[in-house]
Structure 1
Amino acid sequence: MPPLAPPPLMPPPLGPSGGLPRYPAHFGAPRPLPPPPRQPAPPKVHRLSPQNTLLALGVLLILAAGATFLAVNWRSLPVTAQAGIIATLAALAFTASIPASRRTLTGTAEALALLGTGLLTVDLYGARALGLISPTAINTPTYSAIIAATIAVLTLLMTRAAPKVVTYGVITVIAGQLALPLLLLHRTTLPIILAALLAQVLLTLFLSAKGTPAIRRTGSITAATVLVCILLTGTANTLWGLLTESTTYQTAAVTCLAAATGIAILHKRPLPTTIPSGIGEAVCAAAAAFAIATTLPQYADWLTTAFATALAITGLLAPRRTGKFAVVLHTATITAAAVDIVYCMAREDLRQLGYLAAIAAVLAVYAALRRVFDPVPTTAVASLSAQLAIVLFASDGYINAWPAAIALAALATTGIAIACAYAPPRADLNAVVGGVGISGGGVGVGGGGAPGPAPVRLGSYRPLELVLLITAACAAVLAEVAAATTATFTATGVVLTLTAAPLVAYGMNPRRRPALPIAALLFTGANTAFMLAANAHKLEWYTLPPAILLLTLGILAWRNRSSWISLGPGLLVGLAPSTFAASTLTADPLTTGTADWLRATLVVAAAVALILLGVRRSLQAPFLIGAAATAKIAIAQLLDLTPLLPRWITLATAGLILLTTGATYERRLTQTKQATRWISNLR
């Protein structure tokens, strides 16, 4: 009978409700531990070994010995013997590097290759210095080109005999770059030299691509270095041509060709990942744009502006706004615009700078409408550029101060009008509802007996709305400065009116009530400017229009709050100055005070109307202001007539008043308290 199988393991029974499960009675096989996390391999650090150090020092010492040998023994030995000795040593070094490389003596082979190249270079230069080759027979650049070509050819042949020696390939690439420019120097023009170097760059990349990795890296580095030198030389030459007013269109063409070639090479062979993406394309584009921008002013000043504008329009209309193409286009646009701006500033051409600013404003408006870029900074650029253009035109005398002030005021009006569309449509709990609230407390209009409205915080404004308001304020300030330079005050009044008009519409939004007092202040200033321009001397011309405006705004924003907040400012501005002016004493009020009597009569009529309005509507501000104005006029007129009355009448009247007050003191005190309580209950 087979043995019975062990019973299967059952899951541990659960404990009571809410408790932990019971401790299991049977345990399974232990689970294997997870493998430890792999540590990343430390980066490989290339350190100079003792062998390489010794070999390098040995090569340097032998080269120094060769140079010293030629310098010291030039009298004791013939020049041909000295040159032959150094050449023999160089040949021995070249020859010894071949078996060293085949026996995997890498360090020794590299040192011998470097030693042979150095000795050959010292020998060739020393032979000319010691007179073996006459300096007049061949000039220094040409002789250096011959030496570079000789070394390049010899090291190229050595790469066939010792292909494992990296030094030969590297020296071949480096020495091959020096022969052509040294040979063409002083023999042809700069554009031809740059074009030849560009062809050499392509040839270097093509040939080095077939070699070892070290040769490919060396070819890439040398080609990039030569290409950068071509770009720098070309841009420097075009800049010098601009400064000296000489023609450099050929150099500019070669520079642009080199930049295009560099961009094409980078498309096929990108830079290492350690270098930021797009930096090579940006350098090439900047060089080409700089060369063109510094060449075009040699023919016409506006050509550079047209070139920068064409690039900007292309960037706005391009279907792709990211990637290498966008980097090239934006870099070229910024470079051309910067060159144009600097050139115009150097020539103090304010009109051309104004055209640049106007073009920037138009393009920024298009970009903001099409949402090519972020509308917030684009809107700021559009408004500020337009303002700068107007200021530059006015400074250059292209337009007068009057049109400049009106144009700047129109910009401010447009900005505020557009901001009205971006204001929130309805108020929330943190906004001002039906009143004016200014942070820091000063003005509040609203209703009810409730506490004052919450202040409008800066964070409640949308970014685009805030930018529009700030740029509009800047335009308004500039417009006022331009208006101040005119001969009359009319320009100031027009500017203030144009700025205040859209503020009224903006302030009608319940969350934007602080704009209403600002509009009232601007309208007051505009009215004052118009009256000064009209040479008006009556006080009421300066007080009644602002008073009417304040009363209108107060009535529009009135929500059953205190009448001092909604009606008090307008009533005080309209009635208080006239009341004080009507109280002025005259020498003969019955004959020479006609104007004061007319003003006093009108003030009393307005004050009585305010008293009746206050009593009828239970409004405290109209009642007290009207009563104070009536009392002022009455006291002033009484003081005017007092010198004409007999002295005993004045004394008798004062005595009767005191007797009546003393006899009915308790009743008058009670009536005064009742009147005070009634006045305090008014709104």
Structure 2
Amino acid sequence: MQLRGWWAISCAVVLGAALALARLTRSTVTWPVVALLAAQPLPFLALTGKLLIGPVGAAVALAVAAADVVAARAVRRSVGPLARVLAGLWTAVGVLLGLGSAFGADPAESWAATGVLALAGAAALAAVRSGSRFPEVVPGGVGVVLGAALAGSLATTGDAGPLLAAGLGLALLTAGALVSRRPGLVALLVAAGAVLVLLPGARLADDARYAELALVALCGVVPATVAAVRLPRLRGQATAVALGAPYVAVLLARADDVLPSTVAGLLLALLAAAAFAVATLRTGRPEEWVCTWAGAAAGATAGAVTASAGAWGQVGLQLTVAGVAAGCYALVAGRWPVAVVAVADLVAASWIAVGGAGVGTPEAYTLPAAAGLLLIALPSLRAGARSWAAEGAAAGVALLPSAFVVVADPTALRLVLVVGAAAALAVAGTLLHRQAPFLLGTGALLGVVVGRLSPYAPLLPRWITLGAAGLLLLVVGATYERRRQQAREAVAWVAQMR
């Protein structure tokens, strides 16, 4: 007889003797413990090496764990903890053996192991007491194990296995969001679904199958949207996933060259617009800022993705889409910082579009910036703020660069327009008592006049220059006190402007 047989006979004899002695001496703890320990290896002694590490071994280990659970309830209270510890150890062994077989190359053994784990999970769920303090723990653990086993078994079906597993996981996640009133069932479905999505997703990423991974990410919008609608406590997190899933899907599709850069950028810009639209609808709720940040990230990424292809016109268009959506949200929700960012985005979009078209006219860049600054200054204007804090920056950006260009590189059209604009600003500042427009307009006029006439000064005869200087000194000296008083009045008049 082999050693295995002698071992089995020895354990059986010890088990029988310990049980008999335990019935005769009920106050002794030693004999129940000996009987419990002697019974543990008996079922495994009938298995050979290959069966021991396959689905059969997993089934035997889980059966021993179940027997230990039953024994923990039947034996004396002092032996119960030992039985529960043994049950936990054999459960871990059975799960590890089952998962090892489920991820094996043999489809028959893989599905057999998954079936064993499913039966064991059903038994564990049936054994859970309804009054448990943590009703989600056991279903969640069963869900993790079953999800991993199903992922391994579906992987044996070929290249379509990861997609099938991920699709099943997404369906389970959706079902978990729909049955939200039953915590145990929700834990089971969500745990299994999450593992079924993550493990195949990791395999697709490791195999660089980004197109299929993009499809999985895009389908993730469904359970996230259902959760956002049905679960108020998780609405912020679910909204983030619902907006992040298409974002990741577009980037993965671009990485696999499924989408060209311009199309990927346009899709991201539309996603940004959708995010700002949702933020507008959910103003005042926690998920509003989730949508806002998601829209900002999608809009910025859209410009970066399209810029990599050098399509600057498309970059300007996409930034405009995101900026208009952000601006509308800011106006409706009253979010002033978002409005500032939206205006900056629109100005940048115009610069990129103009620069991409090869336009070198300075006003093509300064006028959009001035318009943006004026839009930002509208609340200050309505509140009656001082001109330098309101329209001063916009007026300076619009006028002064053009005035410098007129002096350095004059053209008739620009000279007429700059002089007309400067005069209009000076007159408007005078009539409205606004200091910034008045000083900027008069300063620009003076700079243009001096800059345009100074090249002709050396051409005049010297006696005319000296005579004019002497005459000017005589006039100033004769009317010094009156001119001084007028200068004080002029400075005071300008200083009292807003």
TM-score higher than 0.5 here? yes
**CA RMSD, Structure 1 to Structure 2 (Å):** 3.0
Q: Say if 1:500 and 1:520, in contact at 8 Å, map to a contact too.
A: yes
Q: Distance in 2 between matches of 1:422 and 1:204?
A: 54
Distance 1:141 1:664, change over 3 A: farther
Aligned to 1:562: 386
Q: Distance in 2 between matches of 1:673 and 1:205?
A: 101
Alignment of 1:602-617 (within 5 A): 602-617=417-432
Alignment of 1:226-305 (within 5 A): 226-239=90-103, 241=104, 248-267=110-129, 278-299=136-157, 300-305=161-166
Q: Distance in 1 between matches of 2:75 and 2:263?
A: 71
Q: Distance in 1 between matches of 2:389 and 2:9?
A: 96
Q: Distance in 1 between matches of 2:372 and 2:396?
A: 13
Alignment of 1:442-481 (within 5 A): 463-481=286-304
Q: Say if 1:555 and 1:566, in contact at 8 Å, map to a contact too.
A: yes
Structure 1 unaligned residues grouped into runs of 5+: 1-136, 425-461, 586-594
Distance 1:500 1:659, change over 3 A: farther
Q: Distance in 1 between matches of 2:10 and 2:209?
A: 52
Q: Say if 1:572 and 1:625, in contact at 8 Å, map to a contact too.
A: yes
Aligned to 2:399: 575
Question: In the alignment, residue 312 of structure 1 is paired with which amino acid?
Answer: L
Q: Say if 1:316 and 1:372, in contact at 8 Å, map to a contact too.
A: no
Q: Say if 1:288 and 1:332, in contact at 8 Å, map to a contact too.
A: yes
Aligned partner of residue 635 in structure 1, secondary structure:
helix
Q: Say if 1:564 and 1:621, in contact at 8 Å, map to a contact too.
A: yes
Is residue 2:471 matched to residue 1:648? no
Larger radius of gyration: 1
Distance 1:477 1:283, change over 3 A: same
Structure showing the higher helix proportion among its residues = 2
Is residue 2:59 matched to residue 1:195? yes
Aligned partner of residue 508 in structure 1, secondary structure:
helix
Q: Say if 1:227 and 1:258, in contact at 8 Å, map to a contact too.
A: no
Distance 1:228 1:643, change over 3 A: same
Taking only the aligned residue pairs, the percentage that are identical comes to 27
Q: Distance in 1 between matches of 2:74 and 2:280?
A: 68
Find the partner of 1:661 among 476, 482, 487. Answer: 476
Aligned to 2:197: 337
Q: Distance in 1 between matches of 2:139 and 2:338?
A: 50
Q: Distance in 1 between matches of 2:290 and 2:333?
A: 20
Distance 1:212 1:517, change over 3 A: closer
Find the partner of 1:318 among 165, 176, 179. Answer: 179
Q: Distance in 1 between matches of 2:304 and 2:266?
A: 11
CA deviation profile, 1:552-597 (whole Å, cap 9, x unmatched):
5545762232223332222112111110000016xxxxxxxxx523
Aligned partner of residue 381 in structure 2, secondary structure:
coil
Distance 1:363 1:662, change over 3 A: farther
Is residue 2:440 matched to residue 1:637? no
TM-score (norm 2): 0.88
Q: Say if 2:111 and 2:153, in contact at 8 Å, map to a contact too.
A: yes
1:254 CA displacement: 0.9
Aligned partner of residue 408 in structure 2, secondary structure:
coil
Q: Say if 1:563 and 1:619, in contact at 8 Å, map to a contact too.
A: yes
Q: Say if 2:162 and 2:201, in contact at 8 Å, map to a contact too.
A: no
Q: Distance in 2 between matches of 1:635 and 1:627?
A: 12
Aligned partner of residue 411 in structure 2, secondary structure:
helix
Question: In the alignment, residue 248 of structure 1 is paired with which amino acid?
Answer: S
Q: Distance in 1 between matches of 2:418 and 2:247?
A: 47
Is residue 2:369 matched to residue 1:546? yes
Aligned partner of residue 369 in structure 1, secondary structure:
helix
Distance 1:600 1:232, change over 3 A: same
Structure 2 unaligned residues grouped into runs of 5+: none
Find the partner of 1:626 among 441, 466, 472. Answer: 441
Distance 1:306 1:508, change over 3 A: closer
Q: Say if 2:214 and 2:252, in contact at 8 Å, map to a contact too.
A: yes
CA deviation profile, 1:420-441 (whole Å, cap 9, x unmatched):
34446xxxxxxxxxxxxxxxxx
CA deviation profile, 1:216-269 (whole Å, cap 9, x unmatched):
655554444333321121112323x16x9996111111122112212222348x
Is residue 2:268 matched to residue 1:408? yes
Q: Distance in 1 between matches of 2:70 and 2:281?
A: 61
Q: Aligned pair count?
A: 493
Is residue 2:257 matched to residue 1:397? yes
TM-score (norm 1): 0.66
